[in-house]
């Protein structure tokens, strides 16, 4: 990881995760753990698009991410988009634990259907993405995405529906209140129409541990990621 100075006094410390590898290869197992203490603020990003390379035979790769945020702490965790190459098999599991309702989270991820410019759409063998978010030990959000293009129509209804990129965002904590929800919904309505993106925003949970869930479909990874980053800053 490479640290940067806070953007402004009192702002979050910014950290970039870095790797000397050309991408994720068969047999790779990544383990990422980020812990934010009480009252601390951290923003984490990655250095480049995550390339998941072709895997021969029964080869596969796996990544486990564990994120914890203490009371009054804040974590923005928006990684660069993932590109699963043709013939790849990749499983990623993210576990988020917020100590209580005063802990704050802005989580974003973007999945590409493959190397679109090469005409390599949905030619990966298997992609699994599991995200669990808990507040004070209580599960408030769970998403289990399993894509196997050889077994199901990833382009069809209920999946990508003709689009090439999927974005997921989870925003929890005191800053993401009802007033900000209304503002975020209006912002998304304006920007998604201008960028040719579809999707929406909804409430996540109820009471003190509430938050937002955002799901978007588009054709440009950078546009989707920029929207997630902007939402986390609102």
User: Residue 5 has what pLDDT?
Assistant: 46
Intervals of the chain under pLDDT 50: 4-6
pLDDT at 9: 58
Whether the full predicted model's pTM is greater than 0.85, yes or no, is yes
Q: Is 138 helix (H, G, I), strand (E, B) or coil?
A: strand
- Name the average pLDDT for the chain: 91
Paired tokens of 181:
């929800």
> What pLDDT score does 10 carry?
65
Q: Look at residue 74 in the predicted model and tell me its pLDDT.
A: 96
Closest CA to 53 of 17, 87, 92: 87
CA 88/CA 85 separation, integer angstroms: 6
From the number of C-beta atoms within 10 Å of its C-beta (0-12, 13-18, 19+), residue 177 rates as exposed
Q: What whole-number distance in Å separates Cα of residue 164 and Cα of residue 84?
A: 12
Q: How far apart are the first and last CA of the chain?
A: 26
């Amino acid at each position: 990881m490479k640290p940067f100075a806070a953007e402004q006094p009192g702002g979050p410390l910014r950290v970039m995760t870095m790797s000397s590898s050309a991408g994720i290869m068969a047999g790779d197992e990544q383990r990422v753990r980020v812990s934010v203490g009480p009252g601390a603020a951290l923003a984490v990003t990655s250095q480049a698009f995550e390339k998941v390379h072709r895997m021969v035979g029964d080869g596969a790769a796996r990544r486990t991410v564990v994120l914890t945020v203490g009371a009054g702490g804040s974590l923005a965790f928006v990684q660069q988009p993932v590109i699963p190459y043709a013939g790849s098999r990749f499983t990623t599991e993210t576990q988020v634990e917020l100590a209580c309702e005063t802990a704050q989270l802005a989580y974003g991820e973007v999945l590409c259907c493959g190397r679109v410019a090469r005409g390599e759409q949905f030619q990966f063998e298997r992609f699994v993405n599991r995200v669990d978010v808990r507040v004070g030990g209580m599960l408030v959000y769970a998403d289990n995405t399993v894509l196997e293009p050889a077994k199901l129509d990833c382009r069809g209804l209920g999946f990508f529906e003709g689009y090439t990129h999927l974005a997921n965002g989870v925003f929890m904590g005191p800053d993401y209140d009802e007033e900000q929800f209304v503002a975020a919904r209006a912002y998304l309505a304006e920007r998604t129409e201008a960028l040719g993106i579809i999707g929406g925003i909804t409430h996540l949970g109820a009471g003190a541990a509430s938050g937002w869930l955002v799901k978007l479909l588009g054709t440009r990874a950078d546009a989707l990621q920029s929207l997630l980053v902007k939402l986390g800053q609102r």
